Amino acid sequence: MAEKQSFIDRSEKVESIVAHIMFCLQCRQYTLKEKCPRCMSVTHDPKPAKYSPEDRYGKYRRMAKMEKINES
């Protein structure tokens, strides 16, 4: 469902909920169960990269870039 998609996009806001959500690799669908209600296969903790290190450093990279721009 499209609803699930937007849910992922807003994962920052629903971080606490995401922690309890499991992901079925077979159906590519999120569920709250440890077993997928659809295919009964074991679901996995999606552990979404909350904040990827790249993003974190990207912030500093951008800051450094700004400083350099200001310097020149």
List of residues contacting Zn ion (CB under 5 A): 24, 26-27, 36, 38-39
Closest CA to 21 of 10, 34, 39, 9: 34
Could you give the CA distance from residue 62 to residue 59 in angstroms, rounded to a whole number? 5
What is the nearest approach in angstroms of Zn ion to the Cβ of residue 39? 3
**Residue whose CB is less far from Zn ion, 42 or 63:** 42
Residue nearest to Zn ion (CB): 36
What is the nearest approach in angstroms of Zn ion to the Cβ of residue 56? 33
Q: Count the Cβ atoms, other than its own, within 10 Å of residue 49.
A: 10
